[in-house]
Chains A and B, each alone.
Chain A
Amino acid sequence: MKIIYTDSLVIGGGLAGLRVAIASMQRGYDTIVLSLVPAKRSHSAAAQGGMQASLGATIKGDGDDEEVHFGDTVRGSDWGCDQDVARMFVNTSPKAIRQLSAWGVPWSRVRAGDREVVINGEKVTITEKQEAHGLITARDFGGTKKWRTCYTSDGAGHTMLYTMDNKAIQMGIPVHERKEAIALIHEDGVCYGAIVRDLITGELIAYVAKATTIATGGYGRLYAISTNAVISEGIGNAIALETGIATLGNMEAVQFHPTAIVPVGILTTEGCRGDGGLLLDKDGYRFMPDYEPDKKELASRDVVSRRMTEHMRKGKGTPSRYGDHLWLDITLLGRKHIEKNLREVKEICEYFLGIDPVEEYIPVRPTQHYSMGGIRTKPTGESPTLKGLFSAGEAACWDMHGFNRLGGNSVAETVVAGMIVGEYVADYCAENALNVSTSTIQDFMKREEKKITDLLVRDFGENPFRLKAEMQKIMMDKVGIFRNGEDLEQAVEELKVLNQRAKRIALRNRISSSNPELVEAIRVPKMIKLAQCVAYGAMLRTESRGAHAREDYPERNDRDWLKRTLTTWKDDSADLPELTYEDLNIMKMELPPASRGYGVDNTVHHPDTPKREQEIEEIKKANPGADRFELQQLLNPIPIPEKFKGKNERIGRGFK
């Protein structure tokens, strides 16, 4: 049995995983990163638009700070987020971006003087301040009060990931590529690493570690059409679920991005609309102002995606052989802007659609994009139920996004969570000895070996590719943008059947080394379980919140549903996961629930909401001289690692 020991094992080589690895290495702990692919190919690279940090250097970000970013994030989450975590996040994001700047990201900068921009379909001249010249600039994104999304052209994820991986290489952090974690090793409620399959040789290796961090990204590929990379299959989430101890949070919270191209589902960044692009229907009519007169195309993602779907249901979509779609018009931005700031979008249009977006409209449709749900963690990033298991980034339900993530808050989360969780991982390595019996490691190894042997010897059975396609279709048709009880019940039942069928997979290519069919056979049963978590969670949540939109329960119901779904799968032979709920405590919220300001407010309020509002008023009255930092301490004191506690400087206001 091959065993590799380390202090800090990180599963996933994207932005979040690499940043956690850097943190534990900086603190002197032996660290290994496992990745399905070379780290620089991780899905983080595909993030185009940018990262939210309230630097406030551009004139359109004037007045921005942690409070404004916090408010946008909480409202964006439809009050489903953990406000402690959202607060840690907004306070740390400016530090994260400045650190990345020192490490090499060529963030686009403010240029002093006049420049022409497009706002609400009109050309407008804005004047950047002289004292801001050369500082990191920002663009507009949906659901934000200020221009806060910092970027490098439309390759922000690429430059961030390259910088982060280069930093990891500089530090000598080993990245074991083409390795897949297929099970977690745990004993007495403590996680000790993972059983890992080498995707080239097929060898199983036990990576035994003090702390294990899952940073494997989202589960977008549960859907047939997704903007996600093909490796975003949620396997990190699934192996946590399969421990029967770790919990997954809010798996039903799945985001659909308004503007993926039709039919292939490749993303065009929200930066297209942030920079002034418009959504048009089959008649060339700009419809968003009719639905959302205030934020128009730049309403929160979930809202825009639903409005687009509503508009197409009214017969206003452009028909095509792949179904109806709408148009994204960026022609008004002009060639110069597109070739400088939206060049990946331009390339994608040229290669996949054969069009020049400077001259022609882009066919778009809302498409699965982001997983708000994931491995439930405490604010430290550790699982509340399985000690020593950490998670960061999209794989986690750290829960700063609640039921809808703002554009630009995702890559921001990866690096901020990486910093914060990375410190707690290092603390954990400092405080805990590695104390696991080799017989436990052996048991897990044997169990996984047997599963693979069973697959290799079975003569007749199910085709894993076909099972996956069936699952993806169910998720597309019945667990999509708009949901209803009837469809969801059907989805839950159909997925149960798939779960059973997935126990009888047989292979045509029966070799244990490099074998794409075996990879699929190992993953598909795990993916079906995750799909069941999503569908079942969606069926039971009888309200609409953020991206979870129930046609039969259109109101946000704080009274009964201001809570987070927790999913476990304790009995492997069961055909459904177990769901419990944890309440969000309004009496601790800095920002008690209110209307997000979209459409009609039909919220069913919680009795604690007015109580907390009154309490906040009283605290404010009792402390008339308190500045925003003192007030925040009074309203909701939260722990942040010592390193990241300081205030953030901005031009024109210093550290205030």
Chain B
Amino acid sequence: MSDQERVLKFQIFRYNPQKQGDKPRMVTYEVTEAPGMTIFIALNDIREQQDPSLQFDFVCRAGICGSCAMVVNGQPTLACRTMTSTFEDGEIKLLPLPGFELIGDLSVNTGKFMRAMSERVESWIHDKNADEVNFEKLEERMDPDVADEIYELERCVECGACVSACATKRMRPDFLSAVGFMRLARFAMDPRDKRSDEEFYEIMGDDDGVFGCMTLLGCEDYCPKDLPHQTQIAYLRRKMALIK
């Protein structure tokens, strides 16, 4: 890491819908780069030193919680783990994630979207007996490989990068998007979930579901957890095509 300080130039989208008369605009801030600086550190620096009204969302700041996805130089990504040193010219343009309700500046309401998604795909184990299970007894066994495979698909952090990178979503406002497909694939694989293929079809067997996907695969390109979106969407589509 070089000791030489450089001045970073941040262009940041500013707009507070709560403030009457406020208009969307880009504002430039200069920040002296520190070694190991991430966009999380830089944005806090701007808020504390220059503009205390600047809105953005961070929670874990470790790439685990998915709060901080935003568009960095044209690409949706987790801001907390983006190092400023990766931008050679020191110019960083930040926009809020498209496809979500804007709260203000860089903050968007992914929570509302994700709750609705979870309700829509019924993101839980469907088994009438799940609540009657006798938890004093040994748990139901599961093949160790199956458990590992479920975890692979459950690593989604609901950051919304896939939604904002999806051209189909832009055309179809009710498109379920990759985050929803990944969730469905996760439960379809889980032997504890007793839903039939027909039941899954009811959820995703239309153009707002898996048949609407144009296979542009922005989801695959921008998923910060490298989830296998392409494979899972193809898998679900084949599975659903066999239903009717």
Contacts and interface: CB of A to CB of B under 8 A. Distances in A.
Interface of A: 37-43, 45-46, 94-99, 101-104, 106-111, 133-137, 152-153, 155, 158-159, 162, 165-167, 169-170, 175, 177-178, 200-202, 229-231, 263-264, 266-267, 321, 340, 344, 347-348, 351-352, 354, 465, 507-509, 511, 513-517, 520, 646-651, 655
Contacts of B19: 511, 513
Interface string B101-142: 001100000111011001100111101011101011111111
Given A169-B118, A649-B138, 4 more contacts: A41-B66, A133-B144, A134-B143, A155-B151
B4 interface: no
Nearest to A97: B139
Nearest to A136: B139
B239 interface: no
B76 interface: no
Nearest to A464: B52
Given A40-B114, A102-B130, A177-B112, A348 B63 contact: yes
The list of the 3 closest CB pairs from A to B, nearest first, reads A38-B111, A134-B141, A517-B52
A153 B151 contact: yes
B14 to A, nearest CB: 12
A514 B61 contact: no
A469 to B, nearest CB: 8
A109 B142 contact: yes
A44 to B, nearest CB: 10
B124 A170 contact: yes
Interface of B is mostly: loop
Nearest to B114: A38
Given A104-B124, A348-B63, A169 B119 contact: yes
Given A40-B114, A108-B147, A177-B112, A514 B136 contact: no
B18 A321 contact: no
Contacts of B57: 37
Given A102-B125, A109-B147, A37 B59 contact: yes
Kindly name the residue among A97, A111, A201 whose own CB sees the greatest number of chain B CB atoms within 10 A: A111
B204 to A, nearest CB: 17
21 contacts: A37-B57, A39-B111, A40-B66, A96-B135, A98-B135, A102-B140, A106-B142, A106-B150, A108-B151, A110-B144, A159-B154, A169-B118, A177-B112, A229-B59, A230-B58, A344-B64, A352-B36, A465-B48, A511-B18, A514-B16, A516-B55
A509 B147 CA distance: 50
B231 interface: no
B81 interface: yes
A506 to B, nearest CB: 11
B60 A133 contact: no
A39 B83 CA distance: 27
A465 to B, nearest CB: 4
Given A46-B62, A102-B125, A104-B190, A514 B139 contact: no
A266 B62 contact: yes
A229 B54 contact: no
Contacts of B61: 229-230, 264, 266
Contacts of B51: 509
Contacts of B62: 46, 266-267, 348, 352
Interface string B38-76: 100000000110011111011111111111000000000
Contacts of B123: 166, 169
A651 B55 CA distance: 53
A174 to B, nearest CB: 10
A106 B136 contact: no
Interface string B159-201: 0000000000000000000000000000000101100000000
A102 B141 contact: no
Contacts of A200: 18, 103-104
B35 interface: yes
B158 interface: yes
B148 interface: yes
Contact of B124 (A37, A153, A167, A508): A167
Contacts of A162: 154
Nearest to A354: B83
B238 interface: no
A452 to B, nearest CB: 15
Nearest to A340: B148
Nearest to B156: A162
B155 interface: yes
A108 B148 contact: yes
A152 B66 CA distance: 19
Contacts of B103: 178, 200, 514
Given A101-B139, A103-B125, A109-B143, A45 B64 contact: yes
A619 to B, nearest CB: 27
A202 B53 CA distance: 14
A103 B130 contact: yes
A93 B7 CA distance: 52
Contacts of B138: 98, 135, 649-651
B52 A509 contact: yes
Nearest to B52: A517
A38 to B, nearest CB: 3
Given A106-B190, A229-B65, A513 B18 contact: yes
Given A134-B144, A229-B59, A266-B62, A106 B137 contact: no
Contacts of B193: 104
